[in-house]
Structure 1
């Protein structure tokens, strides 16, 4: 039996608990995460592939529809809300179904079966995964949009990353590995344990030192040099 991963995003604890309980009753669903904060759900989805998301609409910070629109490759969406008035808008946002609280299990199962068919159809027709061209990060208590090809370099600093773009830099809690997985491998290269850089930002290379267009100097690991030169087209 195919298993379908799903998450729940709802700022109301009781609402989350009901959907979590229903999910656990369905053998082909696997709950991988649950969020009371829509921003945390957004950040999770930028770094993890999920089949189905059950999301409330009215949430603080960003609402459910804004959450969906902020994603490059959103999962199949089922909105769960106490307000019937949002039905039309939810389908305009690309939702597969719309459940009104209090949710009945039979109605939930119908929505899940519809979502399952949509996931299977999508997997059958989707071409190889395309990389996102922008992400949102949480920095200093706010969401910041980062256009990926504008990044000069990313530096790991403990549990945080420093993301540097022209004229600015942002610090966010994330791992270098998570960023490496979403960046275009033809444009970005991990030159050592703590740095990923944009090859378009390379100004000079001298020995094992790389100078970027903003004046930053970064050392390249010896075992990365040959691959890096090949990416730059240097023989």
Structure 2
């Protein structure tokens, strides 16, 4: 049986809190530990109580949701809930697991908390299991370790793959299928046949083009657009 995950809700609007609280009650693996209209009270609570998931608005008086999460030394899994789509990319920069736009639908909420649940379960696996924060590739006759967080994108180039990081890039004989199995949501997304991107590296989305932090612009397949926009809360 899965562990019950403890949640708190932070929103200065009472109706917004009530909606999310009612959603939490419907999901067996969630329990509401507390609910706050004042983000500073929530901050004090988070500094003293261990919580699994924080569901927070962004625009609030005194301190906004982004600032609140950034002030925590070891933040829980975070899902931002707001009426403003423009904050989506900023939300993912904080390590948020999802971003929901008001009015929030229950099916979309369920998808977000399942994503947070998967993240929590994966990060709390015993250390004796295989390391999942890195990959080893064969390049130039040797095995090279690459941390997943450093990967910006992977590009198919015939029988080879180009793996780009902020500092350098590597070429290895491999397939996109095998890389798809190593690089998965919630951190990576295959935007088209030839590219997998790190979602935390997304700087902007313009129509069918995705711009990464290093300036790389990659076209987005039409069949992938709706899914990507849903993930980014756009």
Which TM-score tier does this pair reach, normalised by the shorter chain?
0.5 to 0.7
1:100 corresponding residue in structure 2: 101
Q: Which has the larger radius of gyration?
A: 1
CA deviation string 1:169-203 (max 9, x = no partner): xxxxxxxxxxxxxxxxxxxxxxxxxxxxxxxxxxx
| Cα distance in 2, alignment partners of residues 122 and 34 from structure 1 | 25
Moved over 6 A (4+): none
Q: Which has the higher contact order (CA 8 A, sep 6+)?
A: 2
1:16 pairs with 2:30 = no
Shift of 1:105: 0.3
CA deviation string 1:68-109 (max 9, x = no partner): 011011110000000000000000011000000000000000
**Where does the alignment leave 5 or more consecutive residues of structure 1 unmatched?**
127-235
Matches within 5 A, 1:64-75: 64-75=65-76
For the aligned residue pairs, the C-alpha RMSD in angstroms reads 1.4
Shift of 1:125: 6.1
The TM-score normalised by the length of structure 1 is 0.53
1:59 corresponding residue in structure 2: 60
| Cα distance in 2, alignment partners of residues 30 and 77 from structure 1 | 15
| Cα distance in 2, alignment partners of residues 122 and 16 from structure 1 | 28
| Cα distance in 1, alignment partners of residues 119 and 49 from structure 2 | 19
**Where does the alignment leave 5 or more consecutive residues of structure 2 unmatched?**
128-234
Shift of 1:121: 1.5
